[in-house]
């Protein structure tokens, strides 16, 4: 399982054999069944999770009981309530498994210890945060400027695999539209082809 | 010692040589109140550190300036969404007091990562802080009422309420200046 993590890290920085040995001591493996929670709103998010296999989602529930999707995480992604993990505040998100999943967890103190022990991990996490900041900004601008159909097309182009694996009602929630609107959009797109 | 070096030393350990390298990589930049660190449409070329002064971030929203954020002395300032991917900025950053900065450009930032032993650590801690701020801002825009946002502003920036014009604070909170004075009255009146 840890080899998935190593190859993900090595896409961004080079690791020595010694680095790999050290890194592996900081992570704990965890399996989640489908629909099992990794985190519930109101708890402190104690771990950063790397998805070695499977698919998870981050979402919150509003006062009316409606769910709002925030992000998906699948093989090669880090998933967490980052605000809660980094600041120690209560989580505002729930995280649960859409498919049964294999995770590698690292705690907040171990995350700091790891970067001191294997300094190249500072570089790795810096690049990760930078990319995430840029993606977040694009998604925010996209949510303001794109139509629902444009948002769906962009998602389908950038993550074709995700569209196939994730139930359609969750895709609709992620795009901020009703499930009926999504099926109308998909029909329209088929007709255009 | 500059406030920049003091601040860096709180985050990482540096040698005397590295202190000299850092002092060389950052260049001084002085802005008068009203002048820009960055204008919408330009490429954000620097990450700045504020030795003295105050800046605000704003965006144009149908001809209205929407104030997004403030930074004051002891804090870093940049629009990373322009600085990192090298694309034009959708945000302006303007000095609202006379402001003294030390700035570093993209190429010198890469030199810092390679020439300062814990440079990458400084980068990771810095960007983590920016990442956290951006999540908290976004959360607050969606979830908090204007009164909550104003109180959160006072909590984070107790000394800034006196330094920032009220209409900028109102814009940051997301309301008209008149509504802000109503909120302020309610807060000072005993219940």
Give pLDDT tens digits for A55-101.
999 998 888 888 887 888 889 999 999 999 999 999 989 999 999 99
Domain shared by B137 and B149, yes or no: no
Q: Are B73 and B166 part of one and the same domain?
A: no
Nearest to A176 by CA among B142, B174, B175, B67: B142
Q: Are B99 and B53 in contact (CB under 8 A)?
A: yes
B152 and B122 inside one domain:
no
- Last residue of a domain, which of B102, B126, B142? B142
Question: Could you tell me the pLDDT band of residue B191, with boundaries at 50, 70 and 90?
Answer: low
As a whole number, mean pLDDT of residues B37-48 equals: 97
Contact status, residue B49 vs residue B22, Cβ threshold 8 Å: no
- For chain A, give the mean pLDDT: 90
| Chain A contact probe: residue of B124, B136, B143 with most A CBs at under 10 A | B124
Please check whether residues B6 and B45 belong to one and the same domain: yes
Look at residues A50, A45, A2 and name the one whose alpha carbon lies nearest to residue A25: A2
A39 strand-pairing partners:
A95
**A103 occurs within a structural domain:** yes
- Which segment of A101-105, A136-140, A159-163 scores lowest on mean pLDDT? A136-140
Q: Is residue A155 part of a domain?
A: no
Would you state the pLDDT for residue B190? Answer: 61
Instruction: Give the containing element (helix H, strand E) for A88.
Output: none
Domain that holds residue B150: 144-191
B161 and B85 both lie in a single domain: no
3 state SS of B94: strand
Comparing CB atoms, the residue among A82, A115, A119 nearest residue B135 is A82
Who has greater pLDDT, B4 or A146? B4
Give which of A133, A134, A139, A144 to mutate to test B binding, by max B Cβ within 10 Å: A133
Model-level pTM?
A: 0.85
A82, part of any domain: yes
* Statement to judge: residues B163 and B75 lie in one domain: no
Range of weakest confidence among B18-27, B95-104, B145-154: B145-154
Are B18 and B58 members of one domain?
Answer: yes
Looking up residue A92, the CATH number of its domain turns out to be 2.60.120.10
**CATH code assigned at B38:** 2.60.120.10
Domain that holds residue A21: 2-116
Q: What is the model's pLDDT at position B135?
A: 83
Structural element, H or E, at residue A189: helix A179-192
- A70 part of a folded domain: yes
| Residue B59 sits in the same domain as residue B135 | yes
ipTM: 0.82
Two tokens, residue B171 = 């814009």
**B161 and B122 co-located in one domain:** no
Whether residues B162 and B130 share a domain: the answer is no
Residue A128 within any structural domain of the chain: no
Q: Which helix (H) or strand (E) holds A164?
A: helix A160-165
Give residue B152's Cα distance to chain centre: 16
A137 touches chain B (CB under 8 A): yes
Task: For residue A66, tell me if it sits in a domain.
Answer: yes
Does B191 lie in the same domain as B167? yes
| Domain match, B83 and B26 both | yes
With CB atoms and an 8 Å threshold, state whether A87 touches B132.
Answer: yes
- Between vectors from CA A22 to CA A21 and to CA A26, what angle results, nearest 5°? 115
Task: Please tell me the distance from the alpha carbon of residue A140 to that of residue A166, in angstroms, as a whole number.
Answer: 21
Q: Is residue A131 part of a domain?
A: no
- Rounded CA-CA distance A177/A168 in Å is 11
Q: Which residues contact A77 (CB under 8 A, 6 or more apart)?
A: A50, A51
Check pLDDT > 70 for residue B35: yes
Tell me if A126 and B81 make a contact (CB, 8 A cut-off): no
Could you tell me if residue A89 is inside a domain? yes
Domains contained in chain A, number: 1
Please check whether residue B132 is in contact with residue B53, taking contact to mean a CB–CB distance below 8 angstroms: no
For B76-135, how does the pLDDT look when each residue is reduced to its tens digit (9 = 90+)? 999 998 999 999 999 999 999 999 999 999 999 999 999 999 999 999 999 999 898 888
Residue B130 sits at the chain A interface (C-beta within 8 Å): yes
Q: Tell me which chain A residues have a C-beta less than 8 angstroms from the C-beta of B136.
A: 83
Closest to A119 measured CA to CA, from A19, A4, A187, A189: A19
Tens of pLDDT, residues A18-52: 999 999 999 999 999 999 999 999 999 999 999 99
pLDDT confidence of residue B152: 84
A128 SS3 class: helix
Both tokens of A120, joined, read: 């190249």
What is the total count of domains within chain B? 2
Minimum CA–CA partner of A125 in chain B:
B124
The predicted-structure confidence for A105-147, as pLDDT tens digits, reads as follows 999 999 999 999 999 999 999 999 999 888 877 777 776 678 8
Please check the confidence at residue B161 and state whether its pLDDT lies above 90: no
């Amino acid at each position: 399982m840890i080899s998935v993590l190593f190859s993900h890290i090595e896409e961004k920085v080079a690791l020595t054999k010694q680095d790999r040995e050290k890194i592996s001591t900081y992570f704990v493996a965890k399996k989640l069944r489908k629909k099992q929670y990794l985190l519930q709103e109101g708890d402190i998010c104690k771990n950063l999770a790397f998805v070695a296999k499977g698919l998870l989602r981050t979402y919150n529930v509003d006062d009316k009981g409606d769910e709002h999707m925030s992000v998906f995480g699948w093989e090669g992604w880090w998933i967490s309530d980052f605000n809660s993990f980094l600041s120690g505040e209560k989580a505002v998100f729930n995280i649960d498994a859409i498919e049964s999943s294999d995770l590698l967890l690292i705690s907040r103190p171990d995350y700091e210890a790891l970067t001191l022990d294997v300094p190249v991990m500072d570089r790795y996490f810096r690049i990760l945060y930078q990319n995430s900041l840029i993606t977040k900004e694009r998604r925010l601008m996209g949510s303001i400027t794109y139509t629902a159909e444009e948002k769906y097309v962009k998602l389908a182009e950038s993550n074709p695999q995700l569209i196939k694996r994730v139930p359609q009602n969750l895709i609709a929630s992620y795009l901020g539209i009703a499930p009926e609107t999504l099926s109308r959009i998909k029909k329209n797109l088929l007709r255009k082809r | 010692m500059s406030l920049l070096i003091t601040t860096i030393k709180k985050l990482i350990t540096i040698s005397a040589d590295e202190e000299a390298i850092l002092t060389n990589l950052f260049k001084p930049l002085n802005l008068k109140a009203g002048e820009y660190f960055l204008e919408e449409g330009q490429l954000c070329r620097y990450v700045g550190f504020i030795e003295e002064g105050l800046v605000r971030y704003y965006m144009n929203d149908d001809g209205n300036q929407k104030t997004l954020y403030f930074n004051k002395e002891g804090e870093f300032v940049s629009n990373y969404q322009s600085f990192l991917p090298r694309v034009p900025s959708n945000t302006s950053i303007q000095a609202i007091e006379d402001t003294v900065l030390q700035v570093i450009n993209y190429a010198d930032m890469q030199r810092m990562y390679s020439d300062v032993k814990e440079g990458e650590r400084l980068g990771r801690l810095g960007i983590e802080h920016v990442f956290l701020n951006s999540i908290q801002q976004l959360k607050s825009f969606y979830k908090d009422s204007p009164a909550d946002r104003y109180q959160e502003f006072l909590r984070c920036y107790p000394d800034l309420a006196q330094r920032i014009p009220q209409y900028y604070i109102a814009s940051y909170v997301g309301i008209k200046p008149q509504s802000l004075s109503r909120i302020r009255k309610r807060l000072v009146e005993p219940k």
